[in-house]
A and B are shown apart, each in its own frame.
Chain A
Amino acid sequence: SQQGEEDPQALSIQEGENATMNCSYKTSINNLQWYRQNSGRGLVHLILIRSNEREKHSGRLRVTLDTSKKSSSLLITASRAADTASYFCATDPRRGGKLIFGQGTELSVKP
């Protein structure tokens, strides 16, 4: 199975609410990245957190990493309708050399 598994698979919230997505992985990693994909488009890199970091912020995004639990979360604060997209975590394993993508969380933000 994939290294990265995301939860929930789908999330529907109202504009202004916060959205939290979780990612779990299985092996040791160098870093973990989050990507966004609008419907029918390519993926866009959002944020990278290294294995020695616990939390990182970028605008309305907040990412946490717990290497002891092998998990990460992405929080989008004050969500907007334009945040509607699929969000993927990708892990860079210590052994392997290639990013491994999870199944993604489909976020729907209703105006």
Chain B
Amino acid sequence: EADIYQTPRYLVIGTGKKITLECSQTMGHDKMYWYQQDPGMELHLIHYSYGVNSTEKGDLSSESTVSRIRTEHFPLTLESARPSHTSQYLCASSPLGPSGKGQAGNTIYFGEGSWLTVV
């Protein structure tokens, strides 16, 4: 079992509310990721981080923001939620590859996901 935890698992909120999805890992991994996945669909990378104070946008544009103040913690925030943000958000982590930032040769460990519904 991976030591990566997401809270909340399920959340229903009203339009316009601010929400933060929490993600913590106890494996000491430098790299962390946020993926967005609609039911039965592929994963889309929306944010990633190589370490403390490093954050990058992923392949899919997202209105969410992330921060990486501590190695183990990578929260995702939506300032004003909309129904189009309804989705599953998956947090993940991996150690840096032997070549540093350029390689992703290690296994990615996923959290259980956070299901967000915006009504």
Contact = CB atoms under 8 A, between A and B. Distances in A.
Interface in B76-90: 88, 90
Nearest to B114: A42
Contacts of B40: 86, 106
B113 A42 contact: yes
Nearest to A46: B107
Contact of B104 (A40, A41, A97): A97
A98 B42 contact: no
B43 interface: yes
Contacts of B101: 97
A8 to B, nearest CB: 14
B20 to A, nearest CB: 19
Interface residues of B, number: 27
Interface in B81-119: 88, 90, 92, 101-105, 107-113, 115
A31 B104 CA distance: 9
Contacts of A103: 41-42
Contact residues of B: prevailing secondary structure = loop
For A33, A86, A88, A97, the residue with the greatest tally of chain B CB atoms inside 10 Å of its CB is: A97
B45 interface: yes
B48 interface: yes
22 contacts: A2-B42, A30-B103, A31-B105, A33-B108, A35-B110, A42-B6, A42-B92, A42-B110, A43-B43, A43-B110, A44-B110, A48-B107, A92-B104, A97-B101, A98-B48, A98-B58, A98-B59, A98-B104, A102-B42, A103-B42, A104-B42, A106-B40
The 8 closest A-B CB pairs, nearest first, are A42-B110, A103-B42, A43-B110, A101-B43, A45-B107, A42-B112, A92-B104, A42-B113
Interface of A: 2, 30-31, 33, 35, 40-45, 48, 86, 88, 90, 92, 96-99, 101-104, 106
Given A42-B6, A98-B104, 16 more contacts: A30-B103, A30-B105, A31-B105, A33-B108, A40-B113, A41-B113, A43-B90, A43-B110, A44-B2, A48-B107, A88-B43, A92-B103, A92-B104, A98-B58, A99-B108, A103-B42
